[in-house]
Amino acid sequence: MGFVKEFKEFAIKGNVVDLAVAVIIGAAFGKIVTSFVEDVVTPLILNPALEKAGVSNVAELMWGSVKYGAFLAAIINFFFVALAIFMMVKGINKMKKVEEVEEVIAGPSQEDLLAEIRDLLKNK
């Protein structure tokens, strides 16, 4: 098998395409969460605390000569990314459970049950 043919089979497999889509959606999702942290959380929650500390940006926070602000910002960003992913997975799992319940509830139709009863009565 030629190299080009092998590569083509590998590249068009479902797993590779699914992974590519996941990476693209993940990058877009990361931008949404970053915007949420920078544009919503920081102004509402962190700005009052930063004003009391006498700084305008989280990255400027220092303790002596140690700049811990950027690390703190990364922790806050991670927390909200993890929270958003948790909520998304929780919602997806809830939708899956609803689909499973609908499948169980559906069961055989009345016609199917009547046909079974008819066949059983014929066999007696």
Q: Residue ranges of the domains in the chain?
A: 3-123
pLDDT of residue 68: 80
* Mean pLDDT (the chain, rounded): 80
pLDDT of residue 110: 81
CA 82/CA 33 separation, integer angstroms: 10
Q: The pTM is what?
A: 0.51
CA 62/CA 70 separation, integer angstroms: 10
Going along 3-101, which residue ranges are E strands?
Answer: 62-63, 66-67
Instruction: For residue range 34-92, list pLDDT tens digits in order.
Output: 888 778 877 787 777 777 777 777 777 777 888 788 888 788 878 887 887 888 888 88
Output the six-digit token pair for 117: 């009863």
